[in-house]
Amino acid sequence: MAVEGGAQPGRDGVLRCPWGLSADDYVEYHDTEWGRPVHGDDSLFERLCLEAFQSGLSWLTILRRREGFRAAFAGFHIAKVAAFTAEDEERLLGDTGIIRNRAKIRAAVANAQVAASLGEGELDALIWSFAPDPERRSAPRTHGEIPAVTPESTALAKDLKKRGFRFVGPTTAYAMMQACGLVNDHLADCWARDEMGAGAG
């Protein structure tokens, strides 16, 4: 039996986080990606960029343009995006496959340049160093129990900004932490919760 405000059954009868039922794209993303640990500098750079582009928009909007973003941003290979020129930025502003926001496009390129200045594996290690102790986090029963910002996401955002990263406020940082498995915010009764890696709390 589903908890009021908690995980809800989908068409297949399986209990999921309610947001993961609102569209077929969300079901797939919820079941196969969200909350599962993500490692690798380029992979985390992609998530950081997409969360920044999502700011002020629906995540579904970003999800449905994900392949367009990957094509436009050279597969989110940090070294390639860091080498983007002013001409590339103008090209991106004309690309209907992405969100055409000049400030966010410039931020993605600038963030790639900062990430490129780090050693191999350093972005991964930096981001994951802010993962909270999973033993100190209880499983949320309802969506209302999930915070938008945490001390860890605030600290991560502060560290990234100090290094020169843009569009990485505490809310964006926490959304990335949720998506990349630094925390496990699948609801207690959601089938996917127990599927998450040990590194997420």
Describe the crossing of helices 102-116 and 41-54 by its angle, rounded to 10 degrees: 160
| Rounded distance between C-alpha atoms, residue 11 and residue 19, angstroms | 14
Q: What is the DSSP letter of 98?
A: S
What is the spatial distance between Cα 135 and Cα 18, in angstroms, rounded to a whole number?
Answer: 25
Cα–Cα dist 100/95, whole Å? 7
Look up 191 and say whether it is catalytic. Answer: no
Distance set, CA 26 to CA 38, 55, 176 (Å):
18, 18, 16
Residue 89 annotated among the catalytic residues of the structure: no
For 61, the enclosing helix (H) or strand (E) is helix 59-63
Q: Which of 26, 34, 46, 51 is catalytic?
A: 51
Residue 39 marked ligand-binding:
no
Quote the CA–CA distance of 131 and 200 in Å, as a whole number: 8
**Joined tokens for residue 35:** 């909350």
Annotated catalytic residue, options 19, 33, 59, 89 = 59
Catalytic residue list contains 128: no
Q: Does 186 show up as a binding residue in the annotation?
A: yes
Binding residues for Zn(2+): 17, 30, 186, 190
Q: Which residues are catalytic?
A: 29, 51, 59
Binding residues: 17, 30, 186, 190
